[in-house]
A and B are shown apart, each in its own frame.
Chain A
Amino acid sequence: MGRQCSDARVSSEPAIAEGQPQGRARTLAKRVFFAFLAFQVLVPMTYYLRDDAYDERFAWRMFSAIRLHQCVTTATEDSGEGFETIPLARVIHNAWIRHLSRNRRDVVESFLERRCDEESVRAVRVINECRGVADEWYEHQVYERTCLDGHVTMPGQLERVTP
């Protein structure tokens, strides 16, 4: 390879592209790009500012340790004779049960509200017993709604109970 060849074919200088937006079109393109960029950077960041460790949507936390928690869900309701188990598989689709077991708060809240619409139900409770990837156990995640006043109790910070 001689110098002639490399001179002809190699350069690190940029080329000029066709169709470069000019004037207002350029300003608009710039604004759309940077607004879109800011949106994409900020949305995942909100996960780290929230107190809900389980809601990993839009945070690009694929294959996270939290996502791999295995939780056993039980749902109970008080219809005047103490808390009784709700047969979840007969009430909602399996996919929603998985969401309950993943501690998706929006889903849990909607489920509690939905059960409160049933006649004579006074209170509804969802409990998740969760185990982490290193087989450690976490404090039970307890969600409860009092149907009369609509008061909802949510679990606190996610904490390990066994190392």
Chain B
Amino acid sequence: MSKKRKNRKSKASKKSSASNPVSSVSSSPDKARKTPSAASKNGSSKREAAKRTARDPLAPLFGGVAPSRLNVMLRLTLLLLAFDCWIDLVPHGGRYGVGDFNVAHFGILDVLLPLPTPTLYVGSLLFTGVLAFAMALTPWRPGLIALFATYTLGWAASMLDSYQHHYLVSLVLFSFMFFPLESSRSQRSAETKNVPWAVRLGGLCFAWGSYELIGSSTGLWTPLGALGMSGSFRAGAQGAVFLFGVVSTTMLRENGGETDAPGKTPAKTPAKIRLVSAWAYVSVCVTCAIVYFYTAINKLSPDWRDGHALRRLGRSDAFRQLQESAAEGWAFLPPMDPDAFWSLLAKGAIAVQLASAAGFLLASQQDRFRLRDVSKVGIVALGLPPLSFHLGTEAMGLEIGWFSYYMLVIVVVVFAPRAMIDASVEVLGAPARWFERVAPKENVAGGLALAGSVVCALLIAGVDLPGDVAAGALLALVGGVALWAALKGGDRAKSPALLGVAMLLAGVFAFVSLTETAVRYDYYRFVGGDHRRRGEPEAALAAYVLANRYVVTPWCVVAEGVEPTCFRSEEDAQAAALAIEGATVRRSDRQEKEDEMRRLVEAQRGGGS
């Protein structure tokens, strides 16, 4: 570097430390607020630190992230992982060990774990889900390490699990092991402690509105959908909630000082912004950038560029309508024949993925700088390519598991302005902060941990799936370890209490997810189908009996061109069918298969005797 450039940089950093309020952040903000004189004494050292930061080539790595962003990314991803394990992965556990055949992703696992069984696989998923849920509520480094290990082993043990995004989730979990972990209370930064209620409400609306928009695009349950809203009315309500969230979190927060409320004079002193050095967060963003980059490279083949591959993938109503509208001509483009349409879309996908890769790298740095409004909008705009890509893949109805959900969560957390994330955390994290304040200590905490773990273990052991008892026993063991930690006492004694509550909630959510959805029905009907194909009617009968016992919504409304909707009771289904022209109600279970297998078994027994 030339001397001239060095001087310029040095001047810039001096100017920065003198005038930039952002850099005046103590390593202990609470302490700094209590003793202003101490804060002024530290001024020169902070200026030195600012200079060092400006010169440091590794600043993008260690430079800092809003604690709320770390908080939300870790917790939401882990919550999603928990439900992914219970709802999406468990139903396929019955294929493990069938025909005594297995091939692991890595040769060493073929030696160490030659034949994973349903008991081992489903049991480990139940355990992993509970662990992920508990770690989402009360992150603990040993727990995050165990989570990375059990989840990765789960998919790596067999090529039966070939979803690429499971590898991606493992990479993200690896980075999570190095996330800075703080309690919900200490994570609150100076500017979020006295947030006005309007902003808190805005944070809630931002979180809710984001979920509504993503959920309705991807077919998930949403509160507004459950209220019976549909069509443009629902879209309008979703947009209103989301926009209210955006406006109230940005406009009110941007209005000056740290405790600005409507009607108050903006404070002269600008807000102190707390940042936490988190290279692991940057690592997650880099991982996403690498994924998008290679995905774009893959699409450079002629088969993709010509649109053949995308045409085969995009056989959904949404894309058919898009193709028809393109044939009529869009406002800025002439009418296109199908070949031109798919080729354009395919090339667009490459551009979107390259833009997404660049966007993740840039957005990972957004908290380090106090950006102008236009730059903030720019960062949000960079999030649109990945957002549109994953909403588009969901519209295609591809069998890609929960990949889009993971990416949508990460995209929203990485690209959203800090003010929105802060406000969402402020309101959604309130219960956790309250519990941290009132949580009992030492022996009581240990007892709570043990009780929570035991209840969780009993709930898991009672779901009637392979491996449930083993998973339950392991969870009870976790409670024992937490009790031991509590008895050791000290400042950490609160953690076991939190862990106990987290385990209890994990057990309840796991139980409901496994018993009140189609998980068990799917698991046993898949097992039954496999036995039937392999000519094992007795085993098939046993599985079909269980499938029919656990069917939750057997009454389905079927109509041409409409996705079937299923209900618990025949009456509800009949009532829903009346609203759809030509709809009929059918029972959707495996009763016929069960009867067929019973006849076969009886015939075999009769023939045998």
Contacts and interface: CB of A to CB of B under 8 A. Distances in A.
A70 B171 CA distance: 30
Given A15-B23, A17-B65, A134 B58 contact: no
A117 B443 CA distance: 59
Contact of B63 (A5, A8, A17): A17
A68 interface: yes
A110 B101 CA distance: 8
B277 A14 contact: no
B307 to A, nearest CB: 9
Contacts of B403: 62
Contact of A11 (B20, B164, B254): B20
A16 B175 CA distance: 22
Contacts of B306: 134
B530 A93 contact: yes
B160 A95 contact: yes
Given A15-B275, A60-B295, A99 B159 contact: yes
A68 B315 CA distance: 13
Q: A6, A7, A61, A95: which has the most chain B beta carbons within 10 Å?
A: A95
Interface in B143-186: 159-160, 162, 164, 167, 171, 174-175, 178, 180
Given A64-B309, A89-B533, A90-B535, A17 B171 contact: no
A33 B65 contact: no
* Interface size, A (range): 35 or more
B275 A17 contact: yes
A46 to B, nearest CB: 12
Contact of B275 (A18, A30, A32): A18
Interface stretch (A19-27, A75-83, A119-127): A19-27
A104 interface: yes
Contact of B313 (A9, A21, A68, A114): A68
B294 A13 contact: no
B546 interface: no
A29 interface: yes
Given A17-B64, A21-B62, A93 B370 contact: no
Given A9-B370, A58-B167, A18 B277 contact: yes
Contact of A60 (B164, B301, B367): B164
Interface stretch (B47-55, B234-242, B501-509): B47-55
Contact of B22 (A13, A63, A96): A13
A85 B270 CA distance: 78
Nearest to A58: B167
Contact of A18 (B27, B58, B162, B372): B27
Contacts of B533: 89-90, 94
Interface of B: 12-13, 15-16, 19-23, 25, 27, 46, 49-50, 53-54, 58-59, 61-65, 95, 98-99, 101, 103, 105, 159-160, 162, 164, 167, 171, 174-175, 178, 180, 254, 256, 268, 270, 273-279, 282-283, 286-287, 290-291, 294-295, 298-299, 301, 303-304, 306, 308-313, 367-372, 398, 400, 403, 530, 533-535
Q: Which 9 A-B pairs have the closest CB atoms?
A: A17-B64, A65-B303, A13-B16, A60-B294, A17-B275, A17-B277, A15-B22, A133-B308, A93-B98
6 contacts: A13-B12, A13-B370, A15-B25, A16-B53, A30-B279, A65-B304
